C-alpha cells in the first residue's frame, strides 16, 4: 500500500466538485418541481388587466336613462347643495366678481346668461371662441357640464363632467344665483 502524506487527500478535489455539482443539481430539481406546481402563464401583453365596466343586470334594457329636462330639475334644485358641488371647480375657476383666484379658467361669477368666451381670460380654446355670439343658458350649461369635450369638441377644459343630472342642476342653480 502506498503511503500518503498526512493532510493531502488525493480525492479532495473530486469530493468538493461532487458536493458543488450535487447542490446545483438539487437546486435545479427544486426549481423544476416548483415551476411544475406553481406555474403561471405569461400574459400576451405585459401589464395588469384593468377592471371592465360592470355588466348590465339581467333584464335591464340598453336604453339610455331618461333625464328630466333641466327646467324640471332646476325647479327642485337646491343652490346650497350646488355650492358644495361647485367646490370641485375651485381648482381652476373663481366665483368672485373680480375673477380673483382663477387659476386655469375663466371666472364663473355671472356666467349665467353671459356671452360664451367673453371674460378677460386669455386661455379660451379656438372651438370655444367660435361660440362668443351665444349666451350661457341653463340648457347649454347642463350639456357642457355633463361632458365638456362632447359639448364643445376641442375645448381646453380638462374636466370630465358632472355625471349626476341632479348635481348638475344644483350647480346650475348656484351659478344662476351668482349675479
DSSP state of 68: P
Alpha carbons 18 and 22: distance in angstroms, whole number: 6
Which CA distances in Å does 60 have to 52, 65, 101, 140?
18, 11, 46, 30
Binning the chain into helix, strand and coil, the percentages to the nearest 5 are 40, 0, 60
**Domain-wise residue ranges, the chain:** 70-177
CATH code for the domain defined by 70-177: 1.10.760.10
Looking at residue 14, its pLDDT comes to 94
- 62 CA to centre of own chain: 25
pLDDT tens-digit series, residues 86-141: 888 888 888 888 777 767 888 888 888 888 888 888 888 888 888 888 898 989 89
Q: Given pLDDT bands bounded at 50, 70 and 90, which one contains residue 54?
A: low
Looking at residue 61, its pLDDT comes to 55
Maximum distance among all Cα pairs of the chain, rounded to whole angstroms = 116
Whole-model pTM: value is: 0.62
Looking at residue 92, its pLDDT comes to 86
Answer whether residue 2 shows pLDDT above 80.
no
Q: Given pLDDT bands bounded at 50, 70 and 90, which one contains residue 166?
A: very high
Are the CB atoms for 126 and 146 separated by under 8 Å?
no
Alpha carbons 94 and 175: distance in angstroms, whole number: 11
Alpha carbons 31 and 35: distance in angstroms, whole number: 6
Alpha carbons 145 and 157: distance in angstroms, whole number: 10
Mean pLDDT confidence for 142-152: 89
Alpha carbons 35 and 96: distance in angstroms, whole number: 65
Alpha carbons 77 and 176: distance in angstroms, whole number: 11
CB atoms inside a 10 Å sphere around CB 23:
10
Answer whether residue 8 shows pLDDT above 60.
yes
Amino acid at each position: 500500500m502506498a503511503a500518503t502524506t498526512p493532510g493531502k487527500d488525493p480525492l479532495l478535489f473530486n469530493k468538493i466538485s461532487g458536493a458543488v455539482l450535487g447542490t446545483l443539481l438539487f437546486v435545479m430539481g427544486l426549481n423544476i418541481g416548483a415551476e411544475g406546481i406553481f406555474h403561471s402563464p405569461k400574459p400576451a401583453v405585459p401589464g395588469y388587466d384593468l377592471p371592465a365596466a360592470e355588466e348590465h343586470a339581467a333584464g335591464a334594457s340598453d336604453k339610455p336613462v331618461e333625464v328630466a329636462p333641466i327646467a324640471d330639475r332646476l325647479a327642485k334644485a337646491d343652490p346650497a347643495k350646488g355650492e358644495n358641488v361647485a367646490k370641485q371647480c375651485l381648482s381652476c375657476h373663481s366665483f368672485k366678481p373680480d375673477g380673483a383666484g382663477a387659476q386655469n379658467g375663466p371666472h364663473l361669477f355671472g356666467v349665467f346668461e353671459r356671452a360664451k368666451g367673453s371674460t378677460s381670460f386669455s386661455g379660451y380654446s379656438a372651438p370655444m371662441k367660435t361660440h362668443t355670439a351665444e349666451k350661457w343658458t341653463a340648457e347649454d350649461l347642463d350639456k357642457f357640464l355633463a361632458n365638456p369635450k362632447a359639448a364643445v369638441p376641442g375645448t381646453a377644459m380638462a374636466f370630465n363632467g358632472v355625471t349626476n343630472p341632479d348635481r348638475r342642476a344644483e350647480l346650475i342653480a348656484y351659478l344662476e344665483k351668482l349675479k
